[in-house]
């Protein structure tokens, strides 16, 4: 029997028409409580001897369907749906880390992850170090006797650094470390870290997996033991469960993920190529450009280059602010992965909690812009960028001539 493509499985895998109603769309089950025919069956469920649900804080049929779908797409044994991407990230880290442990973290990461590590992790007695994960020797040299985890993003947010998941996983496992990969920018359609050796994959399902900017959710995928531990000892006790309505919305969004990601990829590449030739842009970060330092690795590890483009304007924060304020089609927003093109200034927005000296080490300059390519016509997005760049460059030239 021929194996179906992932594009087909995104629509058909796991989700089947209801046996009783024949409804194609899955049911939304908001129930908190579940009845049992006898005490013995209730005990068996609580003890994990059955695959049934018993209380809404630990899941329900709609959420379970989403978890099974994501586990299938990421090629993991099980998945866990949580209330946000940060819930997924923090739970994944706490799955392996306790007081006195140490975690190695790729040097350029999402600002929320950085904030968790620098503010909350020390309160748990957890140590951390940031390291250049493009340098395997540097990673190996940074491993301590109490290091338990290697945590990476690839592509990273916002520098779009590509990391070799297979090589890093091999190195980490040789030293007894677990590997966690934030796969938010890629989705399981474009990259599957578990196939490359990672132990846990995390997603902000708020972004491309849902794809419509109307749900906040997180996902963790891995083996049964780790996911069960997080569900029973972390997510449940911390009350970070997803609800049935949002699980249904994500299931609905997943059905169009393949066609959405194709358009995101196409638009992002067109935008990156335009910006790469513009005289007012000093640098463009996009793994689909040959100029990207990990271009060849991206071609082998990823099945698409994603919908995020970051670029540096020739100027400072004031220049970046002017540019963003002149845009008409693209919207200033902290999120990404929506149908609309979204732009933001990492240094003052998503990564503002990181000290300036550290931001600069991570490649986050005051002139850096992050753009999430939407589903609009690429020519219209580029025209908007072109007009804004023209206005700002003309203003700066006038100011320069006046000062002279």
Domain boundary among 192, 223, 254: 254
pLDDT for 18:
86
- The verdict on whether 123 is a catalytic residue reads no
Establish whether the linkage from the previous residue to 158 is cis, with ω within 30° of 0. yes
pLDDT for 404:
44
Residues 206 and 313 in one domain: no
- The verdict on whether 226 is a catalytic residue reads no
- The verdict on whether 129 is a catalytic residue reads no
Pairing of strands 308-313, 127-131: unpaired
- The verdict on whether 132 is a catalytic residue reads no
Answer for the pair 286, 304: CB distance below 8 angstroms, yes or no: no
Residues 245 and 273 in one domain: no
Phi first, then psi, for residue 297 (nearest 5°) are -60, -40
Selected catalytic residue, list 101, 164, 182, 199: 182
Domain boundary among 254, 289, 311: 254
Selected catalytic residue, list 44, 55, 57, 255: 57
Residues 30 and 92 in one domain: yes
Residues 81 and 215 in one domain: yes
Selected catalytic residue, list 110, 151, 248, 286: 110
User: Which CATH number characterizes residue 180's domain?
Assistant: 3.40.640.10
What's the domain count of the chain? 2
Selected catalytic residue, list 64, 69, 148, 207: 207
Residue 1: inside a domain? no
SS3 content of the chain, % helix, strand, coil (to 5): 45, 15, 40
Residues 226 and 312 in one domain: no
Residues 219 and 278 in one domain: no
Q: Cβ contacts of residue 310 below 8 Å, gap of 6+?
A: 158, 159, 160, 284, 285, 286, 346, 368, 369, 370, 371
**Which stretches of the chain drop beneath a pLDDT of 70?**
1-2, 399-404
Residue 46: inside a domain? yes
Parent domain of 129: 6-254
Q: In DSSP terms, which residues pair with 129 in a beta bridge? A: 104
């Amino acid at each position: 029997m021929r194996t179906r493509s992932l594009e087909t499985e995104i629509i058909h895998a796991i989700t089947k028409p209801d046996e009783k109603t024949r409804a194609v769309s899955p049911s939304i089950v908001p129930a908190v409580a579940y009845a049992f025919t006898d005490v013995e069956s209730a005990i068996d469920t609580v003890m994990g001897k059955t695959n049934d649900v018993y209380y809404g804080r630990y899941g329900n049929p709609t959420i379970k369907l989403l978890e099974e779908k994501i586990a299938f797409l990421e090629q993991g044994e099980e998945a866990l749906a949580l209330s946000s991407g940060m819930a997924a990230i923090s739970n994944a880290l706490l799955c392996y880390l306790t007081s006195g442990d140490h975690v190695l973290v790729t040097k350029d990461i999402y600002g929320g992850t950085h904030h968790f590590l620098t503010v909350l992790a020390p309160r748990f007695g957890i140590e951390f170090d940031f390291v250049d994960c493009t340098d395997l020797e540097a990673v190996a040299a940074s491993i301590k006797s109490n290091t338990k985890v290697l945590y990476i993003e690839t592509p990273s947010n916002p520098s779009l650094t590509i990391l070799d998941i297979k090589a890093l996983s091999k190195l980490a496992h040789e030293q007894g470390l677990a590997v966690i990969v934030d796969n938010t920018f890629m989705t399981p359609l474009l990259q599957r870290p578990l196939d490359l050796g990672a132990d846990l994959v995390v997603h902000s399902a708020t972004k491309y997996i849902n794809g419509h900017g109307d749900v906040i959710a997180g996902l963790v995928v891995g083996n049964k033991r780790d996911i069960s531990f997080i569900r029973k000892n972390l997510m449940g006790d911390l009350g970070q469960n997803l609800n049935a309505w949002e699980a249904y919305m994500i299931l609905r969004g997943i059905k169009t993920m393949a066609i959405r990601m194709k358009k995101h990829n196409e638009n992002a590449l067109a935008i990156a190529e335009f910006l790469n030739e513009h005289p007012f842009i000093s640098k463009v970060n996009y793994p689909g450009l040959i100029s990207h330092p990990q271009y060849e690795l991206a071609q082998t590890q990823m099945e698409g280059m994603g919908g995020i483009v970051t670029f540096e304007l020739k100027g400072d924060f004031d220049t970046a602010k002017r540019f963003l304020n002149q845009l008409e089609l693209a919207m200033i927003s902290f999120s990404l992965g929506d149908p609309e093109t979204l732009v933001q200034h990492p240094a003052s927005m998503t990564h503002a909690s990181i000290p300036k000296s550290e931001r600069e080490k991570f490649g986050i300059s005051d002139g850096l812009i992050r753009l999430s390519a939407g589903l609009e016509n690429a020519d219209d997005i580029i025209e908007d960028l072109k007009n804004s760049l023209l206005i700002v460059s003309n203003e700066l030239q006038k100011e320069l001539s006046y000062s002279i």
